[in-house]
């Protein structure tokens, strides 16, 4: 992970069950070299003690606009000026609403209104609160104020229900902060085409052939490219993640044929193309127009090969274009990846081995080897996909400027 050495981070903690994670956040930020000061709302103090957070941050935790029986005023302007980044994690629906509407009734909201540094907000709430139009409008407003609002994740919520609304994990938040401070603008003006996620090939109106791709790696790459100033077009199969902010264009697709059409069209104008999509290699020869009834004991589906999109792009590639592919392997990994690099006329191939723990489909982490058409090979250790994406983008930048 890139270092946060010397960075001053002001952490705002709101009343949410996720407040206990702020302790982990502080530890991780300090481990990366940051100085952390903490502001808690009164409600946050019911979920985690100020003593824990002051011990971990090695700084007094502030909560009220005044201290020592109202005889001293906490200078909120000074706090906002001190910080390089104001992180609110967890940000409750209540505080988000106050931020959006300029309400200033505690130290946290007063600091928000007077802060001049970038503001990063990591929401946490129940799924229904997250889905409410009023929350959606408030989040929109925060984005208009140029605050960076992180996604919520899907999982078990304090209510016991499962759904969207969980705070992003501390490791992921710290990784986003690292990216924020360590990104360059070296891809400014570059048009980048990225495909991500699975394809679904219909058997009948109800069933399809798909795969376990979550789209996380491709989406992380899109975010990393945008952070480095690129204009990104993202073509995505069906996934359960929000589209990155500041995308130039988003093209949803379902099938390998749709992906082929969208990709070949956008390819001509792209400086760099990254095929991270897990494309179905075969599709049903025929798609039934009605639901297939379970009459037979055995049932066969005749499959035909889909087009190899990357190979087609490799044939069309011009000198000034970079083409990057993935190789998902379970055996003879390196040899197979090198073969794909050559046969598909790629500049780089990113080898994913499903044999490595924590790597591959669905996980937040990955472990990859990047192989260059010039013979260079770089193994990246197990890291968050957001960090892997950042490393891959740096390799692409080096190749671009080599």
How far is the C-alpha of 263 from the C-alpha of 170, rounded, in Å? 35
Residue selected from 111, 115, 124, 275 as contacting ligand CTP according to rule CB under 6 A:
275
**Range in contact with ligand CTP (rule: CB under 6 A) among 9-17, 301-309, 366-374, 383-391:** 301-309
Q: Which residues contact 108 (CB under 8 A, 6 or more apart)?
A: 12, 14, 39, 40, 41, 88, 95
**Range in contact with ligand CTP (rule: CB under 6 A) among 9-17, 117-125, 180-188, 302-310:** 302-310
Q: Does 310 bind ligand CTP (CB under 6 A)?
A: yes
**Range in contact with ligand CTP (rule: CB under 6 A) among 64-72, 81-89, 324-332, 355-363:** 324-332
Give me the least distance between CB of 229 and ligand CTP, in Å please: 24
Residue selected from 65, 124, 173, 327 as contacting ligand CTP according to rule CB under 6 A:
327
Vertex 251, ends 250 and 252: CA angle to 5°?
115
Residue number, 167 or 203, with CB nearest to ligand CTP: 203
C-alpha 396, offset from chain centre:
19
Residue number, 175 or 255, with CB nearest to ligand CTP: 255
Instruction: Please report which helix (H) or strand (E) contains residue 12, including its range.
Output: strand 8-13
Q: Which residues contact 43 (CB under 8 A, 6 or more apart)?
A: 14, 15, 92, 94
List the beta strands (DSSP E) in 184-271.
191-196, 201-202, 208-209, 231-236, 249-252
369 DSSP β-pair partners = 351, 379
**Range in contact with ligand CTP (rule: CB under 6 A) among 117-125, 186-194, 286-294, 323-331:** 323-331
Q: Does 281 bind ligand CTP (CB under 6 A)?
A: yes
Give me the least distance between CB of 20 and ligand CTP, in Å please: 40
Say if residue 386 is exposed, middle or buried (CB neighbours under 10 Å; 0-12, 13-18, 19+): buried
Q: Does 309 bind ligand CTP (CB under 6 A)?
A: yes
Q: Does 326 bind ligand CTP (CB under 6 A)?
A: yes
Per-position x/- string for 249-268, each x denoting binding to ligand CTP as judged by CB under 6 A, each - no binding: -------x------------
How far is the C-alpha of 398 from the C-alpha of 68, rounded, in Å? 55
Give me the least distance between CB of 379 and ligand CTP, in Å please: 18
Give me the least distance between CB of 344 and ligand CTP, in Å please: 7
Cβ proximity of 104 and 113 under 8 Å: yes
Q: Does 115 bind ligand CTP (CB under 6 A)?
A: no
Q: Which residues contact 46 (CB under 8 A, 6 or more apart)?
A: 15
**Residue 378: closest CA among 367, 363, 387:** 367
C-alpha 71, offset from chain centre:
45
**Range in contact with ligand CTP (rule: CB under 6 A) among 55-63, 86-94, 116-124, 320-328:** 320-328
User: Which residue's structure tokens are 């073509």?
Assistant: 235
Say if residue 189 is exposed, middle or buried (CB neighbours under 10 Å; 0-12, 13-18, 19+): exposed
Q: Does 306 bind ligand CTP (CB under 6 A)?
A: yes
Q: Which residues contact 295 (CB under 8 A, 6 or more apart)?
A: none
Residue selected from 124, 328, 371, 393 as contacting ligand CTP according to rule CB under 6 A:
328
Q: Which of residues 127-186 bind ligand CTP (CB under 6 A)?
A: none
Catalytic residue check, 211: yes
Residue number, 325 or 360, with CB nearest to ligand CTP: 325
Give me the least distance between CB of 360 and ligand CTP, in Å please: 11
Which tokens in the block code for residue 282?
Answer: 């075969």
How far is the C-alpha of 1 from the C-alpha of 14, rounded, in Å? 27
Q: Please tell me which residue in 59, 74, 94, 211 is annotated as part of the active site.
A: 211
Q: Does 220 bind ligand CTP (CB under 6 A)?
A: no
Residue number, 84 or 329, with CB nearest to ligand CTP: 329
Q: Does 338 bind ligand CTP (CB under 6 A)?
A: no
Cβ proximity of 307 and 316 under 8 Å: no
Give me the least distance between CB of 396 and ligand CTP, in Å please: 14
Give me the least distance between CB of 36 and ligand CTP, in Å please: 40
Catalogue the active-site residues.
211
Binding residues (CB under 6 A) for ligand CTP: these are 256, 275, 277, 279, 281, 306, 308-310, 325-328, 340
């Amino acid at each position: 992970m890139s270092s946060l050495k010397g960075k001053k981070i002001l952490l705002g903690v709101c009343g949410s069950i996720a407040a206990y994670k702020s302790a982990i956040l502080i530890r991780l930020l300090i481990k990366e070299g940051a100085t952390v000061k903490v502001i808690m709302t009164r409600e946050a103090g019911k979920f985690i003690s100020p003593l824990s957070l002051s011990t971990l941050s090695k700084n007094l935790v502030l909560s009220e606009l005044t201290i020592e029986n109202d005889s001293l005023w906490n200078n909120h302007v000074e706090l906002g000026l001190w910080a390089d980044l104001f992180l609110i994690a967890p940000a409750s629906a209540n505080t988000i609403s106050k931020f959006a509407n300029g309400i200033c009734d505690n130290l946290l909201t007063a600091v928000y209104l007077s802060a001049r540094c970038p503001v990063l907000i990591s929401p946490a709430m129940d799924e229904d609160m997250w889905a409410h139009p009023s929350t959606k409008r408030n989040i929109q407003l925060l984005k208009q104020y140029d605050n960076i609002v992180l996604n919520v994740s899907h999982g078990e919520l304090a209510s016991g229900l499962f759904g969207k609304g969980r705070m992003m994990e501390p490791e992921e938040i710290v990784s986003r902060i690292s990216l924020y401070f360590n990104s360059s603008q070296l891809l400014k003006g570059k048009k980048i085409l990225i495909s991500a996620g699975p394809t679904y090939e219909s058997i009948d109106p109800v069933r399809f052939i798909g795969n376990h791709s979550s789209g996380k790696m491709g989406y992380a790459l899109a975010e990393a490219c945008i952070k480095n100033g690129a204009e990104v077009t993202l073509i995505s199969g069906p996934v359960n993640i929000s589209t990155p902010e500041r995308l130039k264009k988003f093209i949803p697709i379902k099938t390998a044929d749709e992906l082929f059409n969208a990709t070949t069209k956008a390819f001509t104008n792209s400086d760099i193309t990254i095929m991270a999509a897990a494309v179905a290699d075969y599709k049903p020869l025929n798609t039934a127009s009605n639901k297939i009834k379970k009459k037979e004991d055995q049932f066969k589906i005749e499959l035909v090969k889909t087009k190899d999109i990357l190979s087609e792009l490799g044939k069309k590639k011009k000198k000034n274009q970079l083409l990057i592919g993935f190789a998902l392997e379970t055996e003879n990994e390196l040899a197979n990846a090198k073969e794909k690099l050559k046969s598909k006329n790629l500049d780089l191939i990113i080898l994913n081995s499903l044999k490595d723990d924590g790597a591959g489909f669905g996980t937040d982490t990955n472990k990859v080897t990047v192989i260059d058409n010039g013979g260079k090979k770089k193994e990246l250790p197990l890291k968050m996909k957001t960090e892997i994406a950042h490393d891959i983008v740096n390799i692409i930048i080096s190749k671009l400027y080599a």
